[in-house]
Structure 1
Amino acid sequence: MIWFPKIKKMYKQTGIILALVVIMAGCLPKEVEVEADGVITDSRDGKTYAYVNIGNQSWLIENMNYTDKDSIGSWCYKGLAKNCDSYGRLYTWDAALKACPFGWHLPEDGDWKELEIYLGMDPIEADSTDWRETGNVGIQLKAVWDWNSGGTGENISRFTALPAGIREPNGQYYYIGDITTFWTSTYTDEAHAVGRAMIYYSTGVYRWSYLKSGGYSVRCVKD
């Protein structure tokens, strides 16, 4: 069974709280609050995004949901607007390069390594590919809600990674509830670029090169 959070932003004098109200079929709503360090407005479309400071970096804690008027290279999971509202859009690599608002950028591979090492990943392992488990960084990055049964997220970092699924280059959608994959701006050749992935049952973060024509999520880091 797939279920989706409805997101609203609440502002308090003591700080900015991003409240995510999770509604599941047959269950009463429950609220999980993530304390944000600020909120930005994307001047291109007026959408707002919360961010947190992690080490010396500032990261959005919501996936980008920006598209230009032609919507070229980005999609809602299975074409459903409610999935864009919950999880943001899925972008090709070329579209991902243009997705972030002014003052923010699609992170380089090195930006992700800095985040992972700050959260406890061994620096040598951070340079490797495949699953990297030291520091249980995946647990720290994943939200505590919305992942399928057996999910390991604790969201200690407040990064709030949600299981947005992916769009394959052939146009098929897979793994909502199970997996999230994020683009970086670092490419390995004309057809591939580096990304990060998390799956519901793993404590780690996957580092690999993906076809640029695939559809994956975008998180932005401050310039």
Structure 2
Amino acid sequence: MKFRYKSIVFLFISIVGMISCSDEEEAFATPVPDATGIFVDDRDGITYPWARYGDQEWMTDNMRFQTTEGAFRPDLTPVKPIYYDDGRNRKYYDNYGGLYDFTAANAAVPDGWRLPTNEDWNRLADRVGPYITEAIDLQFGGFYITAESYSQQPIDFYAGVYGFYWTATTDETKSENNFAFCRKIVYNKSGYEQKSIAKGHLLNVRCVRDVK
């Protein structure tokens, strides 16, 4: 009788646990934006779709503006006929947009938009939960390091595995304000990680604006 009682209690706890997990998943179902639209960057005519969640609108494609401030990759300068061109840079740009250092990231933002802060990213995460990648269609564009020991790596070396996105928030715990926070996503994990990274690294950029 005692064994039977314990079995019933265990079964009850298991059912409650399953319901709790189901409720938690339901609380953060695959997000549906409140509205969607298209923004046209008047600097180069490139269009960017956006999705609205609450009082924020997020671009759902990576920035492609080729700024001359700071460091920008990939190099899309036409290759001279005498040199071999495997089209890798152009393919990366078409798939993932640009990679920017911190200076270039701020310069790439069009009027009316901003480079999202830590707070902006956290507000989005509070609304969409672990589905942040799906919510604004984040891409796994990798990253690029301009240091001599890495500068020979192909532009798409980490593409398809990681995605790194700048925030506008400087990491004030690091010396000389040379680090800023970013968001990292990994292809086989949900959600994202907050990381502090040197401002000289080149990452992808998304923009956000407040709903008027």
How does the TM-score come out when normalised to structure 1? 0.65
- Look up the match of 2:128: 119
Instruction: Select which of 196, 205, 208 maps to 1:209.
Output: 196
> 2:183 — aligned with what?
196
**Normalization by structure 2: what TM-score?**
0.68
Say whether residues 1:179 and 2:188 are aligned partners: no
Matches of 1:210 and 1:46 in 2, distance apart? 31
CA drift of 1:183 comes to 0.1
3-state SS in 2 of match to 1:51? strand
Secondary structure of the structure 2 residue equivalent to 1:209: strand
Q: Any idea what SS the aligned residue of 1:117 has?
A: helix
Rounded Cα–Cα distance in structure 2 between residues aligned with 1:169 and 1:61: 27
Which residue number in structure 1 is paired with residue 138 of structure 2?
161
TM superposition outliers: structure 1 runs of 4+ over 4 Å: none
Superposed displacement of residue 72, structure 1: 4.3
How far does residue 79 in structure 1 lie from its aligned partner after superposition?
Answer: 6.4
CA 1:79–1:99: 2 relative to 1, 3 Å: farther
1:85 alignment partner, one of 81, 94, 97: 94
Higher RCO by CA contacts (8 Å cutoff, separation 6 or greater): 2
Counterpart for residue 206 of structure 2: 219
Between the two proteins, what is the percent identity of the paired residues? 32
Q: Specify which structure has the higher proportion of helix.
A: 2
**Secondary structure of 2:108's partner?**
coil
Higher fraction of strand: 1
**Structure 2 CA distance, aligned partners of 1:195 and 1:81?**
25
Partner amino acid for 2:160?
A: G
Deviations 1:118-141 (A, max 9, x none): 123xxxxxxxxxxxxxxxx2xx23
- C-alpha change, 1:112 and 1:118, in structure 2 (3 Å) is same
Post-superposition CA distance 1:103-151 (Å, at most 9, x none): 111001100010011123xxxxxxxxxxxxxxxx2xx233xxxxxxxxx
Mapped to 2, the partners of 1:108 and 1:71 lie a distance apart of 20
- RMSD (Å) for aligned C-alpha atoms: 2.1
Q: Radius of gyration: which is bigger?
A: 2
